[in-house]
Chains A and B, each alone.
Chain A
Amino acid sequence: MSLLLAAEAHFATEGGFFVDTAGIMLILPFLAFGAILAFGKKLPNQGGEIAVAALAINCIWAVTLFIQNMVSPVVTERVIEIGRIGSNLSFELGWVVDGLSVMMYFLVNVVGLLVFIYALGYMHGDRRVPWFFAAFSLFAGAMLILVAAPNLIQLILGWEGVGLASYFLIGFYWEDMANVKAGNKAFMVNKLADVGLLLGAAILGVVMGTFSFSEMEHLAVSGDTALAGVAVVAGLLLFFGAMGKSAQFPLHIWLPDAMAGPTPVSALMHAATMVTGGIYLMARTFPLFQNLATDARTLMVVIGTITLFGIGFLALVADDIKKVLAYSTVSQLGYMMTAVAAGGYTAGVFHLFTHAFFKALLFLGAGSVIHAVHSNNMSDMGGLKKHMPTTYWTFVIGSLALAGIFPLAGFWSKDEILVTLGHEGWTTVMWIAIAGAFVTAFYMARAIALTFHGTYKGHGHPHESPPVMTRPLIALAIPSVLFGLLNIPGVEWPGIGNFTQWLGVRGVAMGDHHAEGIDFFVAGVGLVAGILGLLLGWMIFSKDRETQQARDRFEVPLLYPLLRRGYYLDDVADGVTYVTMGPLARFANWTNTYIFDGIVNAAGGLTMLLGRFVYNGLDQRGVDGIVHGLTAATDGAGTVMRKWQSGRVQQYAAAFVGGAIVLAAVFMFVI
């Protein structure tokens, strides 16, 4: 059943106070950034309270706008022109208020606030806490700039900002070289992808004469011929950019390494919000792909499918609990990307929405465990259920939501993706995605079994985390359970409608597919896949053995090393970099040593010669000569003339009289 959403601009109200002042959300985190750097050290929580306060104020706007958009939809933007490129390309900053951006404001601020509060406890007594919260605030501000962007330029601004904050925080514990390398890797892979984004933005800007998303949407819907000509190329370039930020195969390799950062960072940036930036970009430019760049979508679906299935598999063998979740995140991003690429705007973004809550919950749960046992490895855990009941139960809720168990959030959003894939004709992909759901459930069952059941294998006595950490877990567990109900196919809640309608509030109709009722077959198969995965994973891994290796039945020859090394993709990336960049680097080194250094040395030598000439010739002989000459002349004149000043009054008088006589003679005889 296809349904065009009646979300035209005339339907929308013009906003009001909170729409007009939404820009405050974009500024406060940056003020917090500066304030924490300036005097965070002197505060009792090392600046954490400033970061939390900034996001708490932001939440007033985010929640109000979210509710306002439920009750009476808003489509508007507030921009000011900053400058112009040439005569017709205008560069504007501002904020968009429509279904998509309001959803993202809600996500970034609400999940962000919970993670920040959690971080107060998690980072307590750690190194460089003020810098942590400063960089985290910087991230929140940049992310809000990204999702508020009314045009590609501001989006890129925020995009690079979150990349920078990501780099800072991945390498937060920079005393360990591996963490620095992880930060560098994330930055460089993202930079490679950014080339695509920049080129795509440049092409679109030149062809459309504007960077504005709203004008792009209208041009795309009206089938503008100039835009249609470059849509596939520009669309693929934008997609390449999104592949980097949203960790799509094969550019996902940075995300597992990014787990080197503190766990709250992994929860907020590398699971809930930042990595969804690419999905957000695809959703923001969705009309371009839906109406013009349709040829690009096959490749995008294929990439997304490889990501969702192939990378999810890697979570089966990871020992580091955060890496399990990281691979899971990559896999879920694959779901979102596949959905958006296949034409499921609402499906993809709804999964983004629910995933942010339960994946943040899972990461914070993992952080709570790591906080207790001081190790990332599940081989150091086990049996934590009785020590950490709150963490355990919230982690189970997050896992069930991720595994797509009815009626938790993940069930509804994943089901919507499956239904959309089936409806759009991607039946094979739909079955792969169902298999992916099985894998997801399997590795989550494994993670729960290895972490919380069996006997404890670590050191010391683990304790439940303090309330400042467990309360955000509980707060995130609630939306993980309930938020799927916001978008039950065909169900409209009285007075507010459903998520599909809120999200459909855009400048143009999105024209994507919406189920009008539950497809019981697909939902049932997806649910069965999830339950089977959980049961199988539980059966294999719940049996307690002494070591991780002995328990890990998945050591299939060939397959196990393949998965442990992540399909050798890192090695391939290193190899490709070596083969392609090696000669270039050697050439650059050669030119640097012989040509640029030669030029520099020659310039230096010439400068030295010139300097010597100026010193010896001009300064020592010329300028100093003049100065010395002047003093000698003055000295000589003084030696001669001072003799006239004898101090004998009568000599002066004689000279005076003589002068008078001479003057008198002159007056008498000459004139």
Chain B
Amino acid sequence: MTVIQFVILGAALFSFGVYGLLVRRNLVLVLLSVELMLAAVNINLVAFESMLATSELLGQVFTVFVITVAAAEVGIGLAIILMIFRNRQSANADELTLMRW
């Protein structure tokens, strides 16, 4: 087991996330893609900590923080999406272009 396998996994997972972020039109799926990117980052943090670092579980602690923040973010994000859907009967990113000139 080398660190490179985990890095490749993380990179692949992050790329799927970016793909989903840019391509998906449903806002819930966009949010899921963001979660995917966060998961990729978490894998990297955990892998680097256990394979390379000598410190006191800094990577793991940081991962817990990221998960916490991600949970909060998903909570707020889903609430916003819910409100948008109620107002406009749609969660399509292409139709939500109110914030422009």
Binding site for B on A (CB under 8 A): 642, 645-650, 653-654, 657
Contacts and interface: CB of A to CB of B under 8 A. Distances in A.
Contact of B30 (A642, A645, A650): A650
Contacts of A657: 18, 21-22
Contacts of B101: 642, 645
Interface string B7-51: 000000000001001110000001000000000000000000000
Of A642, A645, A653, A654, chain B has the most CB atoms within 10 Å of the CB of A653
A650 B100 contact: no
A116 to B, nearest CB: 84
Contact of B93 (A642, A645, A648): A648
Given A654-B22, A657-B18, A647 B30 contact: no
A650 B93 CA distance: 8
14 contacts: A645-B101, A646-B100, A647-B98, A647-B100, A648-B94, A649-B96, A650-B30, A650-B93, A650-B94, A653-B21, A653-B22, A654-B22, A657-B21, A657-B22
Contacts of B23: 650
B97 interface: yes
User: Which 10 interchain pairs have the tightest Cβ spacing?
Assistant: A647-B100, A647-B97, A642-B101, A647-B99, A654-B22, A645-B101, A645-B100, A646-B100, A653-B21, A650-B93
A645 B99 CA distance: 8
Contacts of A645: 100-101
Contacts of A653: 21-22
B97 A646 contact: yes
A566 B18 CA distance: 121
Interface residues of B, number: 13
A645 B101 CA distance: 6
B60 to A, nearest CB: 26
A642 B99 CA distance: 12
A2 B96 CA distance: 124
A71 B22 CA distance: 118
Nearest to B27: A649
Given A645-B100, A650-B94, 7 more contacts: A642-B101, A648-B93, A648-B97, A648-B100, A650-B21, A650-B22, A657-B21
Contacts of B18: 657
A649 B93 contact: yes
Contacts of A647: 96-100
A250 B60 CA distance: 122
Interface in B43-99: 93-94, 96-99
B76 to A, nearest CB: 15
B52 to A, nearest CB: 20
Contacts of A649: 30, 93, 96
Nearest to B18: A657
B95 to A, nearest CB: 10
Nearest to B100: A647
A649 B94 CA distance: 8
B18 to A, nearest CB: 6
Contacts of B22: 650, 653-654, 657
A91 to B, nearest CB: 76
Contacts of B97: 646-648
Contacts of A646: 97, 100
B101 to A, nearest CB: 4
Nearest to B101: A642
Nearest to B24: A650
A654 to B, nearest CB: 5
B84 to A, nearest CB: 12
A85 to B, nearest CB: 76
A113 B9 CA distance: 117
Nearest to A658: B22
Nearest to A654: B22
A24 to B, nearest CB: 80
Contacts of B98: 647
A657 B94 CA distance: 18
A323 to B, nearest CB: 94
Contacts of A654: 22
Nearest to A642: B101
Nearest to B99: A647
B32 to A, nearest CB: 14
A646 B98 CA distance: 9
A111 B99 CA distance: 94
A39 B23 CA distance: 89
Contacts of B21: 650, 653, 657
Nearest to A646: B100
Nearest to A647: B100
A646 B22 CA distance: 15
A653 B22 CA distance: 7
A548 to B, nearest CB: 103
A654 B24 CA distance: 12
Contacts of B93: 648-650
Contacts of B96: 647, 649
B98 to A, nearest CB: 6
A435 B96 CA distance: 123
A642 B18 CA distance: 26
Contacts of B99: 647
A79 B72 CA distance: 91
A43 B99 CA distance: 75
Of A642, A649, A654, chain B has the most CB atoms within 10 Å of the CB of A649
B97 to A, nearest CB: 4
A264 B68 CA distance: 105
A647 B97 CA distance: 4
